[in-house]
Amino acid sequence: MENLDFKWIIFYCIILTVCFSIGRVIKRVHLKITDDMKVENTSINDSYGIMNIKNISSDDNKTFSNIKKRKVPAPAIGQGQISIYDSLFIKYAPEAGLDWRLLAAIACQESRFIATASSGKNTGGLMGIIPATAKIFLLPQDSIFDPEANLKVAVSLIKRLNSSFYQVKDKDEKLKFIVAAYNAGSSHINDARALTQKYGMNPYKWDDVAEFMKRLYDPSFYNDKICRIGAFNANITLNYVEDVFERWDIYKLITNIQNVE
């Protein structure tokens, strides 16, 4: 009799364990579905948490739904404000011929809006200015972490890059070339454009050129006599462009929507 009771105890323990495990799985699935619905329908995921957004227009909702699942970090203060430097972006954006929120997206990519930020590649300040660029535009090294001075150099560089890609007539396409060159310099971009044209693709279309940027890591391409610079690993630059433009979409939503909690 005692053996029979012991068997029933074991049986009930097994049943309880199975039920508990199933409950945990259901809970995780529920949370995952809930989180996905938040991200897809009513929220923007940024490094400061979730900002719930209401009153999204049909056009904005279409843009929001196109934001990729990678959830690129897009920190923002809220209430339609992106950063404490918004007034500077708004002030200098016209000089660069850019939407001020695109400037903000670049700044976020470079420094996460930390004016004293620096990297192992010697980029520094709000807009990630390297010493060589600072020297070209006469920015003293002791001013590289001054937010406004740093931004002014970035704007001057963007204006120069805009002139470099004057042959790209489509404004949206040109912006992608400018952002790519801001990260990698225009020389590698021009090598990829030359290869793009040689192989019958469109050197004025970013997606076509991006494909040949990937091939600049292949000796059979970067050793082509039309390439002037040589080998280049384009992954960082391609991700840079994608992240900046994805973040720009988010920032346009944040500043266009009045009811942000």
Catalytic residue ranges: 110
Task: Please give the full DSSP string across 205-231, using - where no structure is assigned.
Answer: -HHHHHHHHHGGGSHHHHTSTT-SS--
Q: Positive or negative CA dihedral for 235, 128, 162, 105? A: positive
Please give the backbone phi and psi of residue 45, each rounded to the nearest 5 degrees, phi first: -90, 120
DSSP state of 44: E
Please give the backbone phi and psi of residue 139, each rounded to the nearest 5 degrees, phi first: -95, 115
SS3 172: helix
Find out whether 171 and 236 touch, Cβ atoms under 8 Å: no
